Amino acid sequence: MTLPTDMTVFKNIYFLEREEEEENLKFEESENQVRVKRPDYTFKNGAIYKGLWLGNFRDCYGEMIWPDGATYYGQWRMGKANGKGRFIHTDGDVYDGYWLDNKAHGYGIYRSKRDGSYYEGQWENDL
């Protein structure tokens, strides 16, 4: 499968460099900074996060669902997709693999729902 050269796997409409809103959350923080499960959180953009938090950051494992139906299930570190995760695009395409700072990075598989084609291999900065 050939991806258009002007396309990254995940447009910034989904993974922002930093959810500035996340920086300003006012959760009770513990001195130990223990991961905790909190009620589902809806961001100003309508995206919903379900998962664990470390202080004010999404951390460990969680699920993010955007208003258009795009979904990420996987590992988080300090508010960013980091580690193993799966992103399901609104058109049904799926990326299953490793992430670094909200970008496909490392081994992963991208599958097109439309024609069944796929790319399996190493990714670097979403490409």
Per-residue pLDDT tens listing for the chain (127 residues): 555 444 455 555 677 644 566 666 666 555 567 899 999 999 988 999 999 999 889 999 999 999 999 999 999 998 999 999 999 999 999 999 999 999 999 999 999 999 999 999 999 998 8
pLDDT on residue 56: 87
pLDDT on residue 27: 60
The CATH fold assigned to 35-123 is: 2.20.110
The Cα–Cα gap between 106 and 100 comes to 8
Does pTM surpass 0.75? yes
What's the N-to-C CA distance of the chain in angstroms?
Answer: 13
pLDDT on residue 2: 52
Q: Which two tokens stand for residue 50?
A: 């379900």
pLDDT on residue 6: 42
pLDDT on residue 12: 58
> Where are the chain's structural domains?
35-123
The DSSP H or E segment spanning 72 is strand 71-77
pLDDT on residue 48: 95
Cα–Cα nearest to 1, from 121, 106, 126, 105 = 121
Q: Are 102 and 15 in contact (CB under 8 A)?
A: yes
